[in-house]
Structure formats: structure tokens, C-alpha cells
Amino acid sequence: MIPRYSRPEMVALWSPETKFRIWYEIEAHACDAQAALGVIPKANAEAVWRAKDVTFDVARIDEIEAVTKHDVIAFLTHLAEHIGAEDARFVHQGMTSSDVLDTTLNIQLVRAADILLAGMDRVLAALKTRAFEHKDTVRIGRSHGIHAEPTTMGLTFARFYAEMDRGRKRLAAARDEVRTGAISGAVGTFANIDPAVEEHVCKMLGLLPEPISTQVIPRDRHAMFFATLGVIASSIENIAIEIRHMQRTEVLEAEEYFSPGQKGSSAMPHKRNPVLTENLTGLARLVRMAVIPAMENVALWHERDISHSSVERAIGPDATITLDFALHRLAGVIEKLVVYPDNMLKNMNKFRGLVMSQRVLLALTQAGVSREDAYRLVQRNAMKVWEQGADFKTELLADPDVTAALSPAEIEEKFDLGYHTKHVDTIFRRVFGA
Amino acid sequence: MIPRYSRPEMVALWSPETKFRIWYEIEAHACDAQAALGVIPKANAEAVWRAKDVTFDVARIDEIEAVTKHDVIAFLTHLAEHIGAEDARFVHQGMTSSDVLDTTLNIQLVRAADILLAGMDRVLAALKTRAFEHKDTVRIGRSHGIHAEPTTMGLTFARFYAEMDRGRKRLAAARDEVRTGAISGAVGTFANIDPAVEEHVCKMLGLLPEPISTQVIPRDRHAMFFATLGVIASSIENIAIEIRHMQRTEVLEAEEYFSPGQKGSSAMPHKRNPVLTENLTGLARLVRMAVIPAMENVALWHERDISHSSVERAIGPDATITLDFALHRLAGVIEKLVVYPDNMLKNMNKFRGLVMSQRVLLALTQAGVSREDAYRLVQRNAMKVWEQGADFKTELLADPDVTAALSPAEIEEKFDLGYHTKHVDTIFRRVFGA
Amino acid sequence: MIPRYSRPEMVALWSPETKFRIWYEIEAHACDAQAALGVIPKANAEAVWRAKDVTFDVARIDEIEAVTKHDVIAFLTHLAEHIGAEDARFVHQGMTSSDVLDTTLNIQLVRAADILLAGMDRVLAALKTRAFEHKDTVRIGRSHGIHAEPTTMGLTFARFYAEMDRGRKRLAAARDEVRTGAISGAVGTFANIDPAVEEHVCKMLGLLPEPISTQVIPRDRHAMFFATLGVIASSIENIAIEIRHMQRTEVLEAEEYFSPGQKGSSAMPHKRNPVLTENLTGLARLVRMAVIPAMENVALWHERDISHSSVERAIGPDATITLDFALHRLAGVIEKLVVYPDNMLKNMNKFRGLVMSQRVLLALTQAGVSREDAYRLVQRNAMKVWEQGADFKTELLADPDVTAALSPAEIEEKFDLGYHTKHVDTIFRRVFGA
Amino acid sequence: MIPRYSRPEMVALWSPETKFRIWYEIEAHACDAQAALGVIPKANAEAVWRAKDVTFDVARIDEIEAVTKHDVIAFLTHLAEHIGAEDARFVHQGMTSSDVLDTTLNIQLVRAADILLAGMDRVLAALKTRAFEHKDTVRIGRSHGIHAEPTTMGLTFARFYAEMDRGRKRLAAARDEVRTGAISGAVGTFANIDPAVEEHVCKMLGLLPEPISTQVIPRDRHAMFFATLGVIASSIENIAIEIRHMQRTEVLEAEEYFSPGQKGSSAMPHKRNPVLTENLTGLARLVRMAVIPAMENVALWHERDISHSSVERAIGPDATITLDFALHRLAGVIEKLVVYPDNMLKNMNKFRGLVMSQRVLLALTQAGVSREDAYRLVQRNAMKVWEQGADFKTELLADPDVTAALSPAEIEEKFDLGYHTKHVDTIFRRVFGA
């Protein structure tokens, strides 16, 4: 976790304080369930709730762990310091450390997903606003970085909206993947603890019981979760790359908002660099790097080994904190993106009508010219534009083989921009609904 | 694609023949829709179907491509050779190559998913059968590779079933991710082709229209698809590792089926190596390696660049063929796995009752001994077993501090295996339903 | 391996024919060494060489393997068909399959490295030629995609040369990493075969004996090899991205060579797309995807498991064939790249002198203006250029605060391009030597 | 960076304090060089050294950065607070931020490499000691997890030594890869700063001048650095997996040292889990995950974009801190590993002589039996051992077909362990030298 790429809300979720709080709640709810089953005395279960408003002392727990070399035992020892050793003696009964640790991790991942979903909502709202704002702002579409045919800036925002909306659905599904808890004992057989305890704890904490666990909750769930974060990060990169391209000097169709007082470069004061979207490109790589280790974590030995643990201590916070920050950075970029419609038109006309070649080609074919001949006709005039700086329409009007097939009016009509935007409404309906 | 790790059905899906067949169907259905719209003559649309039963000549198409350096043009030229240049002249009108290529890729991925789903069904059926067969076959559960508490072989199969069942649901979702087609023209604006064509082609080919495309179908869909394959491959690895552990000489709780005549080693004829599951471990790595490139493919420049194409030419076939083979190899391994219940019991008793220490610990606590004292009591007897080869139950019965808290009968009862298997039915119900 | 992204020389290296040929040579040399030690009769060793000119029948060996399910035994059986069962009976004595397989793999990797080194040499030669050709071709340097200060096209080629030259050294080192052979028996103890056999075979085949092997040659060597390929592929991507940027419509400082008759698009005949460098971008991803699986292959169980094998069957050929093809494709692109110096100048002047702001800033500082004031002075004139389309030099000459510090002649001098290229020779000497 | 997996020395290297200290030294040395060239006054250069013993105030610099949004400017502003605005005004002249940032990063990576090399030396020393200690401790070699032939524990340590020694050489090479500095200005042309400044700064800080840079030092160097860390981490995993296998209950040939007072499990007091090596397995995944992002960082746009920066802020500290911790954890594990030679012998005899089958097979062949017949003879007796628990030697002595070829004494001789260890000295000489 890099402080400059983090937001406090997500950081807090991964703090020791939050972790111990969740541990406590799991233990306390488990005691309730055990008391209800008659396994432990009701009084002892109730006693645990005395620590309800305690903020656990992280330094003290670390101190105990330095001796016991076991984090859960350290916490339980500290908990006993609060509620008294006698009253605390049934806490954790029949449970194994992983019951607490794994259920906690999943609660954190579910909450992280909720924060991320809110971030995605902000991105979606920004994209939608800007899409409608620029629904009819014509710009050139490009394939291979080369001018192709006109499109609109609104369609660019709309396709990112659609992509992020898919990402949102994926994230909701990924949240469901990790929304389970397990209190099933040392190897998952419930030998020492009744399944009712698991059911109660899960219900109280918004989880579903893991249908079958070993000592741990199966890690394919987490692999899917992190893989999903990787896909969303890649979509962020996709948007970032588009904006970086739009901002490059020769294109300049948009710029990240540049606040007064911000310095672009220590050496070149005129520079306005797309540093936020470049940063997002790097952050996407960081989120993505969690994917493979999360998959390598799936194949644990027998009922568990602990190789996954160090990996999750890193990627759990890192991937969610980084993605969360990236989503909000992205939302800010989109909300404030400065768009230059004039430059869009200027760029489109760089090759004097050449981008309409496809239309002319089709018109020739429709007029009865064979596809091969039409292609040759268009290409020979296109090459004059390309190589000699001619104007495409002028050349076509002067080419007798072309005018033999198409009237001047028909040729003129092929250069109407409205032709290219006539289905924008249809597409917007598909993306944003009626 | 490595022939020895492939099945013909999946290989055929990725053959040039299949690809050209799909291209043809897309073009033919598109002509129908264009004719219905009155854009092209009905007769020309009908003429295209004359090639309905043609098997396209891959070598001839390659020959043309060597000249045109463009695969779709090469195919269209060849198609014209079949139905006549005159009748063929409206084929592909208003479309761009990617309309054909991307829709085709998605059709292949959907079909690949169907084949994979069938493979998963076979794995699931095998796991279920073996789970019920060994529901009550007791074996030791292990955490960290160290004996923990008893579980059953049936639970092992059942948890793999649950994991694969999650994988199946993920794969079905991944199939939906790529079940779209696009016939939207050079930059996705439908400038030269009516959206109705896309709708018709998708409907006829079992796809949904991509709500908003550029020149290409957005690659976040494919990233999610391949990420999902990576998770499933990791689950295969998980099962493979378990079996490899079970087969190792010192454990020998199960063996891959060894056919008569099979040679395990050119040098050591007694060896029966778990080569299939070792192979599955490697195949999992191969499937997984498609994940990151698929994510790197998402951020294309503007309305498309073609960097994704070479990646998909490789990972499209490779990841699906390898995973398909792996699923069937895994199914075969599970179906025929030779299980050794006697060795399971022998292994469990290796430490003369030590695996019951947790029960004794709990019993002592229940009998009023403090957790810390109980822990010390259990540990001191456990250490005698561990270091001097003593029998745990015997030691406990001889320890006055223990017998002060527990009667001999109570101690005896702690060594009953039924205690550990009493919830197996509950778990099976959770996994397999009523 | 994708045929369209492969060259015959590298493909041939990975053919079954080549593999069996190498197996044969290993076995034959091993027999010689065994005969020299007196372990097997000289006549039998000599008999093996009778198959010297045989091209082994791959189909026949496959047929045998279908029965034996063991590839080396299948080959040995087939070899016996050539030289007679009686004479063949000492072949492979004391050896284990991996002695043959691992030594063969390393021979293939060494040869692959040699082919790749030749490809790198071609790339280096092309880069050097173009670097000197365009040593003084001025173009704008860009950071963040934004104009910064002038540089030259020659420097661009030169830095790619330097990077590829580092890649070449890395590849030579990676070649050394895998230049070992092992004939050390079932677990690497030489129990059944004298180390002298290993020494002889390695010497005859250009390898060094692996100092300590198990059943296999340790896989950290191969991990390092494939990691190195991944770095080189990333350098190829680096060059490809530069060219793609240069070719984009708005920049157009260079283009991939476009052969007469080549069609850029089925729909837009004017388009000249940088498809080769886009393809190289994708190929880089493909090479890179071998890196992690190669690292996952390192941790084999005990003296070996066979999980690495399937991975290497794929990445061995795939990564080397793809990188080889990419190197030659890259060399071709560089050799024939069409460079547009006029467009470079036009682009540089897009912002009317703004790229000289850094020089002016420094001059002001040198003239005694504080850094903060100088920055403000430059920035305020720069903003007029940026926002109102003014000319930077004109504005500076009209700003009394500027002219108070710098004379008109001093201001003029700051716009001299020679200032920026004065150290090009120095840099070229560093890169290419005297 | 996860505190529990870090060592203070490496953490300190990545602290803001260390970073600002290096920035300061670069700036101060650059001023010296500029003064020597006569570009800035000597007095100003000398003034900079007044801050020689200052510990820079990180909080204050952060405060300034919050306004300037530029870290280097913030630092320079703070530096001026120490040495006076007037004296400070030539600091950083002609330089660009990346000159400082990139040179600093490389200094940190070089120092990190030095710390890592020391860690590797500790691992190597431990492995060598244990190798000689257990040179003749016989244990069974295993392929596929199945008993093969005897080897020794010393050979196991020795092969890890050889692997780590290769890793050390790779790390030294990786250190050289990043041992460069650059003070070459905004696009690497030295337009505003003489190459002599770069040369002086590099010399004073133990670096070599980057032969050709842009705004940044080329990232292929860093990609190679992190790839190398990934390979070394994989070697750590390799050792960790071996130890985890040795410690599993059924094998128990070694155990991680278990300190008195350490608790293995909150529930099962008898358990001694290989948690350190399991942890190392996870840490290896963490180090490895830096490899691909580092490679993705290579292809920056033109003379630089800043996408690499966030990646390096994470992987720079994370990968080096984690690997450093892992090396020392590994060294500790090896130094204190508890080895159980008796269990090794017990395991080897599990199949009553079967591991000698290869020797018997060879002896039969040597005695004139055909390979196929010998194989059958050995296999039929081996199967009795395997399936009926017979003793291999006894069966062979009772098989008339065997005794027809081999005398009882010859059979006896095949079961001598010395046969398998006769070349251990040779191998040790290869690994450790004379």
C-alpha cells in the first residue's frame, strides 16, 4: 500500500483495529450460539459482550504475540484481560484459528467490494453525464491510430460506461464469491462445534455458511475475486490510454483538468501532462499483479497449508486500496476532463475528406461498379490526397470514371457528417436504456 | 496447442475450416438482413446460400491472402469463386473485417465454453460418485502437511465437487460474457449498415448484439473469459496436488489407475508415478498463462488496434484446448482412482492417538480445567508420544492430573472415530442437496 | 506456435525429427564413453553409429509409444529396429530417461539462443544504420506524450540500439545458463553410470556437465532463460510502441513500409496501418507469458516431478519461435521504415516556439532572475502561446520584464536548434564506440 | 511492504529520509561539477554542502508538495530553507526531475542488491555447513514423490547451494544492470547540462553514466533486475517445498526448529507445523508478482511517460524487502533445521529393498539377459513386494530365473548402500571446489 495512492476509508478497513473488531464480533456471536446450544454457560457468552465498546490495544496484542508466536491466541489472551480470565474461558471453544481468520478476511473483502462498488458508481455517473454532454460532439474514429470514420465523443464515453457497467456486475458477482464464513473446526468436520454456530455467526455478520470447508475457506473464491479486480483495472487502463492519446500534443482533443498553481514540470512551464491517467495506467498494472498469486494460492496442501496467508496479507489490502484509489482518481479525471470539440473537427479534416472514402466506395458499388473497380477508383483518388495534399471531394468530382457512376450531388452527399451520427440515439438507448 | 494434450472436438473448433464456415454464415445471414432492408437485391442474398454445403478450400484462401495480405478479402475472393463474382458483389457490404472476425471469435469461445461445460459435468459426475462411495472412509485430515483430526475421503471428493461446481457456474457466466456479436462497421457507428443486420445475424447465430462496439467487441469481455479459465485451471491443480500427495510413497492412500502394460519408468519397474496429476499441475500453469495477456489486451488504442489479435490467435485455441484436455484427464483420474482405505487407517494411527489431542483438550476444559492448564496437560502427554513413541491414550490414563478431571471411560470415548464423522451427512446435504 | 508467426529454421529445431536426432547422438556418445570405460563392449558402441544417417520414423515411434506409454522406451525400441536388438542391448545402460530429455532440451535451447542472437544481430545492424542515417534529423522529444525539447531521430534509433545490445548480452548470458547436460542417473548420484560418460557426452555436444543434478537439470536455469526472453520481448514492444506513435495520423513522422498491392483495410483504401508493430506489441505479450510458468516450474518435488514437462513442451517452442519471428519482423520494419523529416519539423513547430521555454527559463536564471520569478515570467508568456496561439519568441521580445534581463539577440539565440544537438556525437560515441 | 515480513535495514533504504538524502547528494555533487565547468559560481556549490549533516524534514517537504504538487520542487524549496534562497538558486540548474529520481532509484536498487547479496551469502554459508554435516546421511531419492534410489541429505543441501550460488551470480549481474545514473536533461540530449556533470555525479556515487538516456533511464534494466529477483524467489520456493515435504507427518525426515514456548496450533498441541517454509512459499509468490509489471514498464511513450512510477513505488520496496526477509528466514530455517537420519533409513526401507530394482535390472542385463527379459524378471518380483509385502532380496534369491543369471553373492551385493554414495565426493568437489 502506497499512502499517496490510497483513500482513508479503504485503508481503515485493513487496519489492525478493524481486524480485531471483526475477530471480536465473530467470537462473541459464536459464544451466543454455543450458549443457545447449551454447550457453554449463557453467563459466559453474555460476559463477552462486555467488551462491546472496547477498542482493542494493538500494541498490547503484538506484545503478547511476540511470546506466543500465534496471533489468535494473542488476541484471546488480550480479550481475557478485558473480560476476565474466568469469564473468558469458553471463548473460541471448539473453534480453530482459521475459523476466525478466514471469516474475517471474507468480511473485509465484502466490505472492500462495497466501497469499490460505490467508486464504480461514481465513475459510471461521471461517464453518463459526459456521454450525454458530448453525444453529438463529432470526432474522428481511429483504428490502428489511423483516421477511419467519424464517431462522437459521446459514443466514446458511452462505451466506457458500458464497459464499467459490466465491471460493476462482475464486481457484484465477485462480492458474492467471497460472501461466506466458516466455523467448522480444525479440518472442517464440525467435530468439536455444531454447524449451528457457523450459521448463527454468518447470519449476524451478513455472510452465508461455506457449504464445505476444510480448515480454511476454499481459495478458488478469492482467486475469482482478485481476477475480477484485475479485469476492472484493465478497463481503467483502457480509459486512461484513450485520454492520454487525446491529450498528446498533436491530438489535443482533451486535457486533464489543470488546477491553477499546479506545476507540470520543473523545467518546462508550458507543459500540461496527463499525469493522472498515466498514473492510472501504472496502478492498473499494480492491481493486476495480484491475479496470478491469488490463483497460485488455490492449490493448498490437504486441508490447508499457510502459504496463502502472506500473499493475502499483501494483496488483500494492496489490490483493493489501489483499485479504490484508481476508481476515484478516474472519476475525478472524467468529471473534470476538458474537452476540445474544435480540435476534434480540425483533426478530422487533416486529410481533406479522406475519411469518407468508405462511403464513396459503397456508393460506387451501389451504382453498379464492381467491388474491385470501385476499390481502385477510390484508392487512386485517395492516394492523391495522401501524397499530394489534394482535397478528396474535389478529386472525385474531377474524376470522370467516378462521375460516370455518381452525380456531383451524390458525391457531395457522401461528405455529410449526419450520415455517421444517425444511429447515435439507438446506441445510447442500448447503453443507457430508454 | 500440443497435440498430446488435446481432444479432437476442441481442436476442430479452432480449425481454419470451422473458422471459414462461421465467416460464411455471418456473411450469408448479413446478406439476408440487407435484402430484407432492401439494401441489396434478394436474389444476391439467396445466391450466397448456394455455397451452403461447400467446404472452403483453406489452401486456396491462403494462396489469395499471400497476394492481398488481408485474410477477409482473401476469403471473400474465394467465396466469389464459388457463387460467381456477379452474384457475390453485395457480400460484406457495409461491413468491416472485424465485424466478421470478432463475431466469429465469440462464436468459437461460446462453443468452446459449451465443450468445457460438458467436461466439467463429467468431472462433477465422477466426483459425486466417488464422494458417496467414500462418504464414510475415514482418513486423517492434515493442515500444514501435519496430521490434524480425522475426516473422510468422501468429504475430500465433496469439497472438490463444490469447488468444481462453483467453477461451472463461473464458466457459464464467462460464456455469457462473450456471447455477443457485432456488425457495426468501421468504428461502430452503423454508418454504413443498419443495426437490424447485427440483430438478425446475432439472432441466427445464438448471440446477443453488442450494445456498443467500436471497430471491435470490447476486450474486457475476453479478459473475464480467460481469467475464469485460469481460476478453473487452478481448481484442477488443487485436486491434482491432493492426489499427488496421496500417492507419494510414504502416504499411499490412493493411486492413479495403472493399466496393465504401462511402464512407470525405464529404470525402476516397481514405480507407479502420479504422472497424470503431475501433468495436470503443469497444464494448469499453461491455462493460467493466458490470463495476463488477455488483460493486457483490454486497453486498445482508440476504436481498435490489432495488438490483441496475435495474442488471441494463440490463447484462444491454446487455453481452451488445454483446459478441455485437462478436464477430461482429471475426470478419468477421478473415475478410476484406486483408493486404499487400509492405508488411510494405518496413516491415521501413525502417532498412536495423538490426533485426538484436541478432543482431550476440550474435554479437560469442559471438566473445569483452565484452558492454559488443559493445554499443558495435553502437551506434556503428547510430547511423550511424539518423542518416545508412547501411546497417547495409555499415557493419558496414566496421568493423575488428567484422570483427576476425566474418568477412564470419558478418556476412552474421546478416541471414538464416529465423533468426527457425525456431521458428514449434514455437509453432504449442503453440497449435493437433499 | 502459430504458423503465421514463425520462421522455418526455428520451427525445425523443435520438430520431432530434430529431437530424435539429438536423442540418438546422446545415446551414441554415451555408448562410446561406456565402451571406453569397459562397461559395454566396443562393438556394441560402434554398432550404434550404424544409424548415423537414419532419419527416424516419427510415426513408427508414436505407434510404439501408444503401447509402452513411455517416449524414450519407444525411441529405444525403434532404434533397435535399425541396428538390431542384439547390438542395441547396451544402449541407454545406466541412464534414466531424463538424462536424455533434459540434455536434449538444453541443446535445443542453446541452439534456439544462437538463432535468436543472429536475429538480434540483424535488428542491431538495422538500428545502427538508421541511427547514423538520421543522426541529425531533428524531431521533438516528448515526455508524457507532450512536446518537451528537440532531440533527433538518430538518438531514437541509437537508444533502441543500446537497449537491444543489452538484450543481446542478456541473451548470451541466458544461453550460458542452459548450456549444461546431465547423465547422472535416476536421482543424480551416478550410481549406475560413471561421471565420465556425462563429461564425454557434454564435450561432444558443446555443453558443460551440470555440476549437480537430481533426476533432472535444475529448473532455475530455465526460469532465467525464459525471463530473459521476456525482457527482450518487452524491449521489442518498446520499439513497436514508438513506431506506432510515429505513424498515427496526427503525428505521421514515420510509416511502416507499405508494399504496392498491399491493402490496408477492406473498407478504407487510404489507410496505412502500423500492423506490423501492432502485431509486435501482441507478440511481446505472448513471449512474456512464458515467464511466470517457467518460474513456477522451479519448485519440483524432491528429485523431480514431471509438472514442468507439459509447460516446457509449450513454452520451449512457443516462446523461442515467437521471439525469433518478432526479431526478424522488427528488423524488417526498421530496415524499411519510411521516415518523414518534414513532418518532424512541422510537428515541432506546432506550438510556435514553446518547446524552448526551458532554455529561456535557464537564461533568465543565469541573468540573475530568481528561479521563482523566472518560472513565472516564462509561464505567463507560454500561456499566451498555449491559449491564444501567439508565437513564443514574439511574446518574449514584447515582455519588458523579460527584455529587462535578456537582450533581443540573447532571446533569438535561445531558439537555435543546434543548441539541442551539440552532444549527439558524444552520445553516439558512447553507444557505438569511437 | 508487510512489517512482519521485513528487516529494518532494507526498510530504511526505502524511507523518505534515505531518498531525500540521496537527492541531496546528487544535487550537491551536480553543483560541484557545474562549478568546475564554470556554469555556476563556486561559492554557490560550496554553500550546498552546508546542509551536509541536515536530516531533511519529511513532513515539511510533504507540506510544500501539497501546494506545488511536484515532489522535486518541494524538496528544492525545502533545501533552500536550509541554505538560503540566494545561495540555493543554482541548485538543480539544467537538470530535470527524472535526473534526480532515476539516479536515486538506481542507487537504491544497487544498495538493495548489496543487502540481498549479503543475505544470499548467509544462505550459502548455512547450506554449505549442512551439506558437509550430512554428506553421508543416506536418504531415499524420490521422483514423482515415489521412492527411486538412495541419495544423501548432503547432496540435497549441495544442490540447493549450487542453485543459490547461481542465484548469487545472477543477482550480481542484475546489480550491474541498474548501476547507472543519468543527468541528461529533459529528453536526454544534455542540451542544458554538460555530460561532465553526469560523469562526476555517477563517479561520486558509485555508478556508471547511462550511455544513452531519454528523460529517464531505460526500463529494460529494471525489468531484468526484477525478473532476477523472481528467479531467486523461485529457488527459495524450491528449497521451502523440499523442507515442507520432509516435515510432513508420514515422512518426518526433518523439522523446522521449534523453540520452547512456541505454540503450533491453538487446538492441537502436538502439532509442529512447517510454517516458516510455508510462509516462504507465499513470499516467493509475492516477489514473483513484481516481474510482469516491471516488464510492462519497459514500453514507455516516446522519451518517457510516468506510468512506471507508481509501479516502482510499490515493487521497488516490496520486492526487495520481501526477498531480503525471505533470504534471512530461509537461512535461519537451514541453520537450525532438525534432521532425522533414522527416519530417513526407516522410510527408505518401507518397500523392503524395492528401490534396488534398477541395480538388479542392470546386473541381469550385464549377465546376458535381454533387456526385455530382465525387465520382466525384475517387475514380477517387484510386484510381489508391492502387493504382498514380500522382501525384494528374498524373492530374488528364490526366483530360479534370477539365480540362473546371478549368484546369491551377486544379488546380496546389489543391496549395498555404498554403491549409491560412491560419487558423492566427486559431486561435492564440483559444487564446492577442491
Least CA distance to C382: which residue of chain A? Answer: A270
* B110-114 contacts, C-beta under 8 A, 24 or more apart: B110/B175, B110/B178, B110/B179, B110/B206, B110/B207, B111/B13, B112/B10, B112/B13, B112/B316, B112/B320, B112/B324, B113/B171, B113/B172, B113/B174, B113/B175, B113/B178, B113/B225, B114/B175
Query: Residue B389 — very low, low, confident or very high, per pLDDT cuts 50/70/90?
Result: confident
CA C105 vs CA A414, B194, C198: distances in Å:
61, 55, 15
Residues of D in contact with B244 (CB under 8 A): 144-145
Measured between CB atoms, does D175 come within 8 Å of chain C?
A: no
**Chain centre distance of CA B147:** 30
Nearest by CB to A268, from C248, C271, C358: name it. C358
Q: Which residue's C-alpha cell is 500540461? A: A272
pLDDT of amino acid B264: 55
Q: What is the DSSP string of C27-65?
A: HHHHHHHHHHTTSS-HHHHHHHGGGTTPPP-HHHHHHHH
Q: Do the Cβ atoms of B253 and D250 come closer than 8 Å?
A: no
pLDDT digits (tens, 9 = 90+) for A51-71: 999 989 999 999 999 888 788
pLDDT of amino acid D1: 77
Asked if D378 lies within 8 A of B247 by C-beta distance, the reply is no
Query: Residue A386 — very low, low, confident or very high, per pLDDT cuts 50/70/90?
Result: confident
Averaged confidence pLDDT in chain B: 94
Q: In chain A, what percentage of residues exceed pLDDT 90?
A: 82
Neighbouring chains of B at 3+ CB pairs under 8 Å are A, C, D
Sign of the CA dihedral running A194, A195, A198, A200: negative
Asked if A301 lies within 8 A of B144 by C-beta distance, the reply is yes
Nearest by CB to C282, from B92, B290, B309: name it. B309
Residues of D in contact with A95 (CB under 8 A): 267
Query: Residue D264 — very low, low, confident or very high, per pLDDT cuts 50/70/90?
Result: low
The b/e string for A410-429 (b: 16+ C-beta within 10 A; e otherwise) is ebeebeeeebbbebbeebbe
Selected residues 264-303 of chain B with any CB under 8 Å from a CB in chain D = 265, 267-275, 278, 292, 296
Nearest by CB to C186, from B68, B267, B318: name it. B267
Q: Do the Cβ atoms of A255 and A336 come closer than 8 Å?
A: no
Residue D98, H or E segment: helix D97-133
Q: Do the Cβ atoms of B167 and B239 come closer than 8 Å?
A: no
Give the number of other Cβ atoms within 10 Å of residue A76's Cβ: 23
Q: In chain B, what percentage of residues exceed pLDDT 70?
A: 97
Query: Once rounded to an integer, what is the mean pLDDT over residues A214-239?
Result: 98
d(CA A105, nearest CA chain D) in Å: 16
Cα–Cα distance for residue pair C380/C376, rounded to 1 Å: 6
DSSP 8-class letter at A39: S
Three-state DSSP at D194 gives coil
d(CA A379, nearest CA chain C) in Å: 5
* Whole-prediction pTM: 0.96
pLDDT of amino acid A260: 67
Cβ-based neighbours of D274, under 8 Å, separated by 6 or more: B144, B145, B146, D243, D244, D247, D248, D255, D256
Q: Which residue has the higher pLDDT, C70 or D171?
A: D171
Domains and CATH numbers, chain A: 1-93 (1.10.275.10), 95-345 (1.20.200.10), 354-414 (1.10.40.30)
Interface B–C counts its CB contacts (< 8 A) at: 142
Burial class (CB in 10 A: 0-12, 13-18, 19+), D407: exposed
Nearest by CB to D250, from B143, B251, B274: name it. B251
Q: Which residue has the higher pLDDT, D67 or A296?
A: A296
Asked if D379 lies within 8 A of B354 by C-beta distance, the reply is no
Residues of C in contact with B72 (CB under 8 A): 266
What cell was used for B44?
444476391
Selected residues 114-133 of chain B with any CB under 8 Å from a CB in chain C = none
Selected residues 74-113 of chain B with any CB under 8 Å from a CB in chain A = 85, 89-90, 93-94
Cα–Cα distance for residue pair B167/B156, rounded to 1 Å: 17
Q: Do the Cβ atoms of D291 and D230 come closer than 8 Å?
A: yes
**pLDDT tens, residue order, chain C (434 aa):** 788 899 999 999 999 999 999 999 999 999 999 999 999 999 999 999 999 999 899 999 999 998 887 889 999 999 999 999 899 989 998 898 999 999 999 999 999 999 999 999 999 999 999 999 999 999 999 999 999 999 999 999 999 999 999 999 999 999 999 999 999 999 999 998 999 999 999 999 999 999 999 999 999 999 999 999 999 999 999 999 999 999 999 999 999 998 766 655 544 555 789 999 999 999 999 999 999 999 999 999 999 999 999 999 999 999 999 999 999 999 999 999 999 999 999 999 888 888 888 889 889 988 999 988 998 899 888 888 878 888 999 999 999 999 999 999 999 999 999 999 999 999 999 999 96
Start-to-end CA span in chain B (Å)? 42
pLDDT of amino acid A150: 95
pLDDT of amino acid C142: 96
Pairing outcome for strands A146-152 and A138-143: antiparallel
Length of chain D: 434
Q: Do the Cβ atoms of D16 and D58 come closer than 8 Å?
A: yes
Q: Do the Cβ atoms of C182 and C210 come closer than 8 Å?
A: yes
Q: Do the Cβ atoms of A329 and A280 come closer than 8 Å?
A: yes
Query: Once rounded to an integer, what is the mean pLDDT over residues A217-221?
Result: 98
What cell was used for C177?
545458463
User: What is the Cα Rg of chain A in Å?
Assistant: 30
Q: In chain D, what percentage of residues exceed pLDDT 70?
A: 97
Averaged confidence pLDDT in chain D: 94
pLDDT digits (tens, 9 = 90+) for A117-148: 999 999 999 999 999 999 999 999 999 999 99
Cα–Cα distance for residue pair B411/B357, rounded to 1 Å: 11
Residues of A in contact with B166 (CB under 8 A): 177, 220-221, 224
pLDDT digits (tens, 9 = 90+) for B273-321: 999 999 999 999 999 999 999 999 999 999 999 999 999 999 999 999 9
Check residue D252 and give left, alpha or beta (phi > 0: left; psi -120 to 50: alpha).
left
Asked if C145 lies within 8 A of D301 by C-beta distance, the reply is yes
Q: What are φ and ψ of residue A150, in 5° steps?
A: -65, 145
pLDDT digits (tens, 9 = 90+) for B46-92: 999 999 999 899 999 999 998 887 889 999 999 999 999 899 989 99
**B180 bridge partner residues:** B208
Instruction: Say yes or no to pLDDT of B336 above 60.
Output: yes
pLDDT of amino acid A266: 46
pLDDT digits (tens, 9 = 90+) for B259-282: 766 655 544 555 789 999 999 999
Asked if C249 lies within 8 A of A350 by C-beta distance, the reply is yes
Residues of C in contact with B285 (CB under 8 A): 292-293, 296-297, 307, 311
pLDDT of amino acid B266: 45
Pairing outcome for strands B180-181 and B208-209: parallel
Residues of C with catalytic function: 144, 265
Instruction: Say yes or no to pLDDT of A339 above 70.
Output: yes
Residues of C in contact with B305 (CB under 8 A): 244, 278, 281
Q: Do the Cβ atoms of B369 and B377 come closer than 8 Å?
A: yes
HSE at residue C304, side-chain half, CA atoms within 13 A, is 25
Mean pLDDT check: name the lowest of B326-335, B395-404, D347-356: D347-356
